[in-house]
Amino acid sequence: MDLLELLLEPLSYDFMVRAIVTTALAAVVCAVLSCWLVLIGWSLMGDAVSHAVLPGVVLAYIVGAPFALGALVFALIAVTLIGVVRNTSRVKEDAAIGIVFTSLFALGLVLISVTPSQTDLNHIIFGNLLGVSIPDLIQVLVLGVVAFAILILKRRDLTLYAFDPTHAHAIGLSPKRLGALLLGLLALTSVVALQTVGVVLVVAMLIIPGATAYLLTDRFNRMLVIAPVVSAVCSIAGIYLSYYLDTASGAMVVLTQGVVFAAVYLFSPRQGLIGTRLAKARRRKAVALAL
């Protein structure tokens, strides 16, 4: 079997095509958002929001509302509760986040357990990449495009917010509103990624690509290109691997991203553990040769 055949064979199945398109889309949107999350230090917040949307999604399913709406409402509830617990008790922020998101996640699990037609909802937790239907695909497409467009159009303001919220305030922008916008987009993006990798692993898509790109460049604009490209390639590669190795697809996508991060962590020419040493050795050799 040659390479082309290897690549084309899975595409003969419609469900594989849908899986690949959905995953690539979710990967790109999550990766773009991850650039800001990683720089602001909101990784834990990403973890929290992506878990906390579960009860919202389940309730939306029960009443027949769009998943995104339920998710947004519960993302908001989660963020508010975290703020309230942190500000009105001696509990620190990381503990507040841990308490709120696990409780909401548990609420979601309880709701699933009492809702008929459990199979559908269990997919939300671990993802159901190979079972993506056309309506699912359309929902991911619409939400993904909206989130992506807002992120790209407002990228300069969001970067300013991440870098220096005081300056944002000083020139008359509202850091609060920008933070809220970013959280809203986080909730929206979580819904996009739920379908592919599931609630538990969404956070990987929201952190790893940005962190990988951050180790590769000193320019935010380049991060915004590197992160989605790396993430999309990893995701598609992950699906192919899961197809041929017959492993869990969502998990394989995340695992691929983790492996690529590890490679970059070790070999990045700028920041890598081994890469920087190799570069130094090369320079030394060049100097020795010149002498």
Partner 1 sequence: MSTPAILVENVTVHYGEVLALDSASLSLDAARICGLIGMNGSGKSTLFKVIMGMVKPDAGTVLIGGQSPSKARKEGGIGYVPQSEDVDWQFPLSVRDVVMMGRYGHQGFTRRPSKADRAAVDEALDRVELGEFAGRQIGQLSGGQKKRAFVARGIAQGATMMLLDEPFAGVDKRSEATISRLLRELASDGCTILISTHDLHAMPALCDEAVLLMRRVLMHGAPELVLQPENLAMAFGLDVLNRDLPEPDAEPDAEPGSEPESNAARAENRG
Closer Cβ to partner 1, 39 or 107, answer by number: 39
Decide if residue 120 touches partner 1 (CB under 8 A).
Answer: no
Decide if residue 172 touches partner 1 (CB under 8 A).
Answer: yes
Is residue 224 classed as helix, strand or coil in its secondary structure? Answer: helix
Task: Give the pair of three-digit tokens for residue 197.
Answer: 């990798």
Decide if residue 1 touches partner 1 (CB under 8 A).
Answer: no
Choose one: 23-31, 108-116, 157-165, 282-290; the region binding partner 1 (CB under 8 A).
157-165
Choose one: 72-80, 148-156, 229-237, 254-262; the region binding partner 1 (CB under 8 A).
148-156
Decide if residue 159 touches partner 1 (CB under 8 A).
Answer: yes
Task: Give the pair of three-digit tokens for residue 130.
Answer: 């190979």
Closer Cβ to partner 1, 74 or 220, answer by number: 220
Task: Give the pair of three-digit tokens for residue 40.
Answer: 């602001």
- Least distance in angstroms from the C-beta of 154 to partner 1: 7
User: In the chain, where does DSSP find H-type helix?
Assistant: 3-8, 14-40, 43-52, 54-63, 67-88, 93-114, 118-126, 134-153, 155-163, 165-170, 175-197, 199-214, 220-245, 249-267, 275-290
Closer Cβ to partner 1, 39 or 237, answer by number: 39
Decide if residue 93 touches partner 1 (CB under 8 A).
Answer: no
Say which residues have a Cβ less than 8 Å from residue 230's Cβ, sequence separation at least 6: 31, 209, 212, 213, 257, 260
d(CA 179, CA 155): 13
Decide if residue 276 touches partner 1 (CB under 8 A).
Answer: no
Decide if residue 166 touches partner 1 (CB under 8 A).
Answer: yes
Cβ neighbours, 10 Å, residue 291: 5
Closer Cβ to partner 1, 135 or 172, answer by number: 172
Choose one: 71-79, 89-97, 151-159, 237-245; the region binding partner 1 (CB under 8 A).
151-159
Which letter does DSSP use for residue 115 in this model?
S
Choose one: 65-73, 98-106, 114-122, 152-160; the region binding partner 1 (CB under 8 A).
152-160
Which letter does DSSP use for residue 219 in this model?
-
Convert residues 206-245 into a mask of x (bound to partner 1 by CB under 8 A) and - (unbound): --------x--xxxx-xx----------------------
Task: Report which of 220, 210, 211 is spatially closest to residue 163, judged by C-alpha positions.
Answer: 220
Closer Cβ to partner 1, 171 or 289, answer by number: 171
B/e letters for 246-256, b = 16+ CB within 10 Å, e = fewer, are eebbbbbbbbb
Task: Note the residues at the interface with partner 1 (CB under 8 A).
Answer: 39, 153-154, 156-157, 159-160, 162-164, 166-173, 214, 217-220, 222-223
